[in-house]
Homo-oligomer: A and B are copies of this chain.
Amino acid sequence: MNNEADNTIETRARCECKDCIIRALIFEHIHSDQVFDLCRNKREAFYKKGEVIVSEGMEIHDLIYVREGLVKYYKQVSPIKTQIISISRAYEFTSLLSIFSEKQYIHSIAAIEDTRVCMITLEQLKKMVLENSRFALGLLEKMSKAADNVIQTFTTINQKHLRGRIAFILLHFANEIYKSETYNLPVSRKEIAELIGMTTENVIRIMSEFRKEKIIRINGKQIEITDIPRLNLISTHG
């Protein structure tokens, strides 16, 4: 980062990978020349809210990581039913989930907010793993964490009644995603239903109940949680 040949420094100054916050997480153990390599080979892409990034069944060519925005991982479980596996934001590595074990995607990914992603090919990624075992260890940690999160969320939600699920997910958006008790829901009521395993009608019904009980305020997509303790209680108890 200091005592390198000038031309290199200059080249790298133009490489945004060097300082990409993502690097600090997954790529913390990367060598300088690997960063350079990465920078030349990575591709960037932008997706508008609603656009599909990858579809179930497509061949996995790349590691796709979210630099900015919000995406959903989902699966068509029947002709009429979709299951959302996870909603994840930048710096989370849900995208690590099956890229090392499957040839084709077993779920789809779509942007639910405007999203910028970077992609590096699996060959490149594997090359980096083979060349740098500290990087490999970092990947193991990230993948472990990502899987734990998904499994943890599943088991938590499964235990709860519908009111508890809604409470949980509203708090999840407030605490984990937006860090604020006021936010614009990035997903439709239908998508919430697909995420926590219930019907759209009941999502709406229960959100209305919460509104009537003065726990939240609703204005279309905008949610304001006015009684956090109460909502916490409903989430943990039920």
A contact set with B: CB distance below 8 Å: 75, 77-78, 81, 83, 85, 96-102, 106, 126, 129-134, 136-137, 139-141, 143-148, 150-152, 154-156, 158-159, 197
Chain B residues contacting A98 (CB-CB under 8 Å) are 144, 147-148
CB distance from A154 to the nearest CB of B (A): 5
For the complex, give the distance between the alpha carbons of A182 and B78 in Å.
Answer: 30
Partner of A85, one of B78, B144, B151: B151
Given contacts A96-B144, A101-B141, A130-B133, 15 further A-B contacts (CB under 8 A): A83-B159, A85-B151, A97-B144, A97-B147, A98-B148, A99-B144, A106-B152, A126-B137, A129-B133, A131-B133, A136-B137, A147-B147, A151-B151, A151-B154, A158-B158
Q: Are B159's CB and A100's CB within 8 A?
A: no
Q: Are A155's CB and B85's CB within 8 A?
A: yes
Chain B residues contacting A102 (CB-CB under 8 Å) are 144, 148
Chain B residues contacting A159 (CB-CB under 8 Å) are 77-78, 81, 83
CB distance from A166 to the nearest CB of B (A): 17
Q: Are A140's CB and B137's CB within 8 A?
A: no
For the complex, give the distance between the alpha carbons of A96 and B145 in Å.
Answer: 11
CB distance from A51 to the nearest CB of B (A): 23
Partner of A77, one of B133, B147, B155: B155
Q: Which residue of B lies closest to A151 (CB)?
A: B150
Q: Which residue of B lies closest to A75 (CB)?
A: B155
CB distance from A177 to the nearest CB of B (A): 20
Q: Are A100's CB and B130's CB within 8 A?
A: no
Q: List 11 A-B contacts (CB under 8 A).
A: A83-B158, A96-B144, A98-B148, A101-B141, A101-B144, A102-B144, A106-B152, A143-B144, A147-B147, A147-B150, A147-B151
Q: Which residue of B lies closest to A83 (CB)?
A: B155
For the complex, give the distance between the alpha carbons of A132 and B133 in Å.
Answer: 7
Chain B residues contacting A101 (CB-CB under 8 Å) are 141, 144-145, 148
Q: Which residue of B lies closest to A129 (CB)?
A: B137
CB distance from A222 to the nearest CB of B (A): 30
For the complex, give the distance between the alpha carbons of A137 and B83 in Å.
Answer: 30
